[in-house]
Amino acid sequence: MERFEEYLKENLPKVDSFHPHYNSAISQMLLAGGKRFRPMLLLSVVEAYEPLLFESALAPALALEFLHTYSLIHDDLPAMDNAPLRRGFETIHITYDEATAILVGDALNSEAFYRISKAPLRDDIRVKLIELLARDGGTYGMVLGQAIDLYFENRELTIDEVKFLHKNKTAKLIATSLLMGATIVDMDRGRAGELYSFGLDLGLLFQIQDDILDVTHSDQEAGKPTNNDSDKNSFVKLLGLEGSIDEADSLADSLRDRLDGFDIRLRDRLEHILSGYLYRHHR
């Protein structure tokens, strides 16, 4: 985590221009902190199997953080969630204006793929990483999920439809973080598929937990507005608070069992990351 934070600060986008706040606006939400969960997943896989590639993997890990941060900036826009707070800081459209927030999101989106293209990895690996991030972070994943989420506000979905929504909006980018790590270390297809499936369930657990925390935590505790999903198809809205906690417990128990089945190198590194997350809905 410390090495990644150093790398992020050393590699913030910086452009020479006469714009008064272009660079500071691009950096604002990246420097506001965050869990860095997706980069840590990628790096944990690389560290488990090919530690000599750790430094080379920092660029695609940073790309993940850029893409994820762009999605948060756009998610907070007035046309979407209209949120004034993220990671404990005011959102970019509040600090500057809506146009700046849109453009910063656009910049971080394209910068993610630029950083992968320049990573010190084999050409075929770079191309595959770009494919995976574009697929699950875009048309066929996160953007699809966001479109469904917004369109069906104030219209009740079934629990299977809500799972489909959040599998795309949240889970796929988490799953592809693990798969990108597996790609860098040339993991065989079968094991990489198992890791991706694990990531999908992990992402679904994260969303259920976020829905629980939305109704049990204050804005200050969460670092973003809470009790803000009354118009949306959240798990709490469909299952109730106790039902959502039961669903999260079931998923967390399953993930714990599957984690124990991984080989010791990967299990130890993922455990280090996941120990504080699997049951965070009970905190």
Q: Are 135 and 173 in contact (CB under 8 A)?
A: no
How far is residue 214's CA from residue 181's CA, in Å, rounded to a whole number?
31
This prediction has a pTM of 0.95
pLDDT band at 128 (very low <50, low <70, confident <90, very high): very high
Tell whether the model's pLDDT for residue 283 goes beyond 90: no
**What's the average model confidence in pLDDT over 137-147?**
97
Tell whether the model's pLDDT for residue 219 goes beyond 90: no
How far is residue 197's CA from residue 179's CA, in Å, rounded to a whole number?
10
Find the CATH number of the domain harbouring 106: 1.10.600.10
pLDDT band at 217 (very low <50, low <70, confident <90, very high): confident
Tell whether the model's pLDDT for residue 227 goes beyond 80: no
Res 270: pLDDT: 97
Tens of pLDDT, residues 146-200: 999 999 999 999 999 999 999 999 999 999 999 999 999 999 999 999 999 999 9
Domain ranges, residue 116: 2-282
Tell whether the model's pLDDT for residue 229 goes beyond 90: no
Domain count, the chain: 1
Q: What does the mean pLDDT of the chain come to?
A: 95
Tens of pLDDT, residues 58-111: 999 999 999 999 999 999 999 999 999 999 899 999 999 999 999 999 999 999
Res 1: pLDDT: 76
Res 224: pLDDT: 63
| DSSP β-ladder status, 89-90 and 85-86 | antiparallel
CA 218 → CA 88, 126, 223, 246, distances in Å? 12, 41, 8, 22
Task: Say what percent of the chain tops pLDDT 70.
Answer: 96
Res 218: pLDDT: 72
> How many helices and strands in the chain, by DSSP H and E?
14, 2
